[in-house]
Amino acid sequence: MALSMSTVLSSSVCSSLQNGIGGDSSQRLRQQLKGTLCGGVVRDCRRWGDPQVVRYPTTFPKVGVARAAWTRKSKSALDPPNNKKSWKQRHEKFLKPFILDVFISNKYVHAKVVHRVTSHVVAVATTNAKDLRFSLPSLTDDNACKTVGRVLAERTIEADVFAVKFDLRKNEKFEGKLALVVNTMVDNGVALV
């Protein structure tokens, strides 16, 4: 923090300089004050010949702020949470890059194989597509699920993908129509990893 000249000089020196005492002594005092006042305070300057300058440190040591006991945090709260993923979590998407996504609605059955890293869709089969929509009597029954699984397996093998990973969604069970689609893909040559 820089101090101004009025706060640095003692009252006697300030009054003497304002009264206009001239001559060599005032010029000598001004030169001495210019050279010696960085970081110091003039004290007891009764004689014009040599002002005494008291030096103070320009930086003060950092002192910790005392906090009340009820505002202190425990050591575990001060440490950042451990968000580091394990090796398996970081590399699984590269070791098992293709994922099978199956969605069964009340009207249609959708299934696709997606590359997990680039989000590139490798193969898609749905009962809403033109090639399956008019050839199937029902778009959501067991026969439609088996057809979607068979068509998706053929398209996946054509794209040179022979193994996929399948994860269930939250609150989803591996049974019924979902199991039919996945098991039909396995029967037609696509391995589950």
82 occurs within a structural domain? no
Same domain assignment for residues 97 and 182: yes
pTM flag (> 0.75): no
Q: Say if residue 49 is in the same domain as residue 100.
A: no
Is there a domain that residue 113 lies in?
Answer: yes
How confident is the model at residue 7, as a pLDDT? 43
Q: Which pLDDT does position 39 carry in this prediction?
A: 46
Residues 101, 163: one domain?
yes
Rounded distance between C-alpha atoms, residue 62 and residue 160, angstroms: 65
Quick one: 45 and 127 in the same domain?
A: no
Q: Specify the DSSP class assigned to residue 84.
A: P
Helix extents (H) in the chain: 5-8, 11-19, 24-36, 75-78, 87-95, 130-133, 142-158, 176-187
Find residue 40's DSSP bridge partners: 55
Residues 71-116 have pLDDT tens digits of: 666 666 666 667 788 888 888 888 889 999 999 999 999 999 999 9
Over the stretch 131-167, which tens digit does the pLDDT of each residue have?
Answer: 999 999 999 999 999 999 999 999 999 999 999 999 9
Residue 70: inside a domain: no
Give the residue-averaged pLDDT of 4-17: 46
End-to-end CA distance of the chain: 67
- Are 184 and 122 contained in the same domain? yes
pLDDT at 53: 55
50 and 112 together in one domain: no
Its domain, for residue 173, covers: 87-192
| Main-chain dihedrals φ then ψ at residue 140, nearest 5 degrees | -130, 0
Q: Over the stretch 18-69, which tens digit does the pLDDT of each residue have?
A: 455 555 666 666 655 555 444 444 454 455 555 555 555 555 555 555 555 5
Do 39 and 97 belong together in one domain? no
Q: Is residue 60 part of a domain?
A: no
- Three-state SS at 64: coil
What is the number of domains present in the chain? 2
101 lies in a domain? yes
Is the same domain home to 51 and 91?
no
Q: What is the CATH number of the domain that holds 186?
A: 3.30.420.100
